C-alpha cells in the first residue's frame, strides 16, 4: 500500500523543529517583508522593474483591495485529516492549485534566473510557466524541470515565422501547454522604469529564446555572438505587436496541438470569443497591475468570466495573490488555479532556488492549513458558500 503524500502544511513543523536547534527561517515570512528585504539587496532599477506597475499603481492596490472585500467563513468538523490539493487544468494534473507564473528577465534579480525557478518548481512538483522573454532558453529550462508540469508563455512576435518557430520549439521541449499573453502587445507606461530610463531588454537581458532561435537568427546579418547590438535591435522590432488580431489568434490556435490558454482576459466577451476560437483555458489577469493603470481588479472580473465560458474551460486567475486565503478566495469565486509572480521573484532575489522553494512551500502550507480550517479536504468542496462580503463592501 502506498503512503499518501505528506500534507503541505507539515512545513510548519519542519520550521518549528529547526527552531528547537535555534534556527530561524532564512527569509521574511510575509510578502511585505520579502519585498522590503529585496529592495535593500537589489539595484534601484531591478527592484523598480519588478515591484512597479503602470501609472500611479492604482490597479496594483485595487488587486489587493479586491481580495479584502471577501471574507472566508470557516466551517467546523469537516474531517479534514487528509487533504487533497490536486486540480486539473487542460490536460495537466497539478499537485496544488498554484502555478509559478511567467516572469521575464529574471537574470536582473539573480544570476541563475529562470533556471533556479525551474529547479525549485521541480523539487516541489509544482507547475511553472516559462516566459518567452526569459534570460534562459526554453530548452535549458525543460532540462531543469523533468518531474513537474511545465508550460510556455508566448508574446506573439509580429513575425509569424518566428512565432511558429517558438511554438515548435516549445512543443519539442515537452511543454504541456502554451499560454499566450494578450495584454502586453506593447510596452506600457511605467513611471518607475521611465524614471530610471531602464528597459532590461535593451541591455540584452531576456532575449535568450530569440538569440537561440534558428529562424530569428537566419534573419540577422551577423550572429548574435558577434553582434549583440544587432540582435537586440531586431528583437525590439519583432516584439511589439499592437496590430495583432483575433484572426492571428486563430492562426496560432491552428499552429499547435497543445492546449492553448489566453492570459490577460478581463472582459467576459473576450473570454467567449477566445473559447469560440478553440482556446482551451483563460487566465483572468491584469498583469499584476503593470499594464493599464486604473484597470479593474482581476478578482472582481473572475465570477463574470467563469459564468461566460462553458464549465469545461478552466479559468485561472492572477494579480495580487499573496496568501493561502487569497488562493481559497479565488477558488471559491470559480478559479481552477492561480498564478503567482512577485512573491517567488522576491524569494529568487534573496536566496536563488532555495528562496523560491521557501516562498512557495510557505504559501502551499498556508493554503493547506487554511483549507483544513475552512472545513474542506479537497478543492472540490471550496465554493461561494465559503465567502461573505466584508462589512461595507
Ligand X SMILES: O=C(O)C(=O)c1ccccc1
Ligand Y SMILES: Cc1cc2nc3c(=O)[nH]c(=O)nc-3n(C[C@H](O)[C@H](O)[C@H](O)COP(=O)(O)O)c2cc1C
Residue in 9, 48, 104, 156 binding ligand Y, rule: CB under 6 A: 104
CA distance 19 to 389: 38
Residue in 184, 209, 256, 353 binding ligand X, rule: CB under 6 A: 184
Note if 287 is an active site residue: yes
We find the least distance from the C-beta atom of residue 239 to ligand X, in angstroms, to be: 7
237-245, 271-279, 340-348, 365-373 -> range binding ligand Y (CB under 6 A): 340-348
By the rule CB under 6 A, 287 interacts with ligand Y:
yes
CA distance 248 to 208: 24
We find the least distance from the C-beta atom of residue 133 to ligand X, in angstroms, to be: 3
H, E, C per residue of 7-73: CHHHHHHHHHHHHHCCCCCCCCCCHHHHHHHHHHHCCHHHHHHHHCCCCCCHHHHHHHHHHHCEEEC
CA distance 340 to 327: 10
What mask of x and - would describe binding to ligand Y in positions 165 to 184, judged by CB under 6 A?
----------------x---
Q: What are the helix and strand counts (H, E) for the chain?
A: 16, 12
Where in 115-134 is the site for ligand X (CB under 6 A)? 133
281 binds, among ligand X, ligand Y, none (CB under 5 to 8 A by kind): none
By the rule CB under 6 A, 206 interacts with ligand X:
yes
We find the least distance from the C-beta atom of residue 80 to ligand Y, in angstroms, to be: 27
3-state secondary structure of 153: strand
CA distance 305 to 284: 8
Query: In degrees rounded to 5, what are phi and psi of residue 382?
Result: -90, 115
Residue in 54, 126, 133, 178 binding ligand Y, rule: CB under 6 A: 133
Asked whether residue 47 is marked as a ligand-binding residue, the answer is no
By the rule CB under 6 A, 92 interacts with ligand X:
no
Where in 278-337 is the site for ligand X (CB under 6 A)? 287, 290
3-state secondary structure of 296: coil
By the rule CB under 6 A, 342 interacts with ligand X:
no
Length of the chain: 393
Residue in 321, 328, 349, 367 binding ligand Y, rule: CB under 6 A: 321
Binding site for ligand X (CB under 6 A): 104-105, 133, 184, 206, 287, 290
Amino acid at each position: 500500500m502506498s503512503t499518501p503524500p505528506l500534507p503541505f502544511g507539515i512545513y510548519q513543523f519542519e520550521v518549528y523543529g529547526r527552531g528547537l536547534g535555534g534556527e530561524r527561517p532564512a527569509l521574511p515570512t510575509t510578502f511585505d517583508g520579502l519585498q522590503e528585504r529585496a529592495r535593500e539587496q537589489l539595484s534601484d532599477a531591478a527592484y523598480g522593474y519588478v515591484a512597479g506597475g503602470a501609472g500611479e499603481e492604482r490597479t496594483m492596490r485595487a488587486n489587493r483591495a479586491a481580495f479584502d472585500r471577501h471574507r472566508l467563513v470557516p466551517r467546523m468538523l469537516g474531517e479534514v485529516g487528509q487533504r487533497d490539493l490536486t486540480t486539473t487544468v487542460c490536460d495537466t494534473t497539478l499537485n496544488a492549485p498554484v502555478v509559478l507564473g511567467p516572469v521575464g528577465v529574471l537574470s536582473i534579480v539573480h544570476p541563475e534566473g529562470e533556471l533556479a525557478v525551474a529547479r525549485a518548481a521541480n523539487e516541489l512538483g509544482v507547475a511553472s510557466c516559462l516566459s518567452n522573454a526569459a534570460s534562459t532558453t526554453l530548452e535549458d529550462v525543460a532540462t531543469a524541470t523533468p518531474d513537474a508540469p511545465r508550460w510556455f508563455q508566448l508574446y506573439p512576435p509580429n513575425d509569424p515565422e518566428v512565432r511558429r518557430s517558438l511554438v515548435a520549439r516549445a512543443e519539442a521541449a515537452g511543454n504541456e501547454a502554451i499560454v499566450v499573453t494578450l495584454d502586453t502587445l506593447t510596452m506600457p507606461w511605467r513611471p518607475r522604469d521611465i524614471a530610471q530610463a531602464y528597459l532590461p531588454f535593451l541591455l540584452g537581458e531576456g532575449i535568450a529564446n530569440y538569440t537561440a532561435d534558428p529562424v530569428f537568427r537566419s534573419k540577422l546579418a551577423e550572429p548574435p555572438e558577434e553582434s549583440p547590438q544587432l540582435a537586440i535591435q531586431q528583437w525590439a522590432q519583432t516584439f511589439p505587436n499592437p496590430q495583432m488580431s483575433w484572426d492571428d489568434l486563430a492562426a496560432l490556435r491552428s499552429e499547435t496541438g497543445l492546449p492553448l490558454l489566453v492570459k490577460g482576459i478581463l472582459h467576459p466577451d473576450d473570454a467567449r470569443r477566445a473559447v469560440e476560437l478553440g482556446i482551451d483555458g483563460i487566465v483572468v489577469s491584469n498583469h499584476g497591475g503593470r499594464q493599464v493603470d486604473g484597470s479593474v481588479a482581476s478578482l472582481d472580473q473572475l465570477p463574470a468570466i467563469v459564468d461566460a465560458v462553458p464549465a469545461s474551460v478552466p479559468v485561472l486567475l492572477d494579480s495580487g495573490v499573496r496568501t493561502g486565503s487569497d488562493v481559497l478566495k479565488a477558488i471559491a469565486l470559480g478559479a481552477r488555479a492561480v498564478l503567482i509572480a512577485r512573491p517567488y521573484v522576491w524569494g529568487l532575489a534573496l536566496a536563488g532556488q532555495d528562496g523560491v522553494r521557501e516562498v512557495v512551500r510557505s504559501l502551499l502550507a498556508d493554503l493547506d492549513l487554511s483549507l483544513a480550517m475552512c472545513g474542506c479536504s479537497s478543492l472540490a468542496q471550496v465554493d461561494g458558500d465559503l465567502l461573505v462580503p466584508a462589512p461595507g463592501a
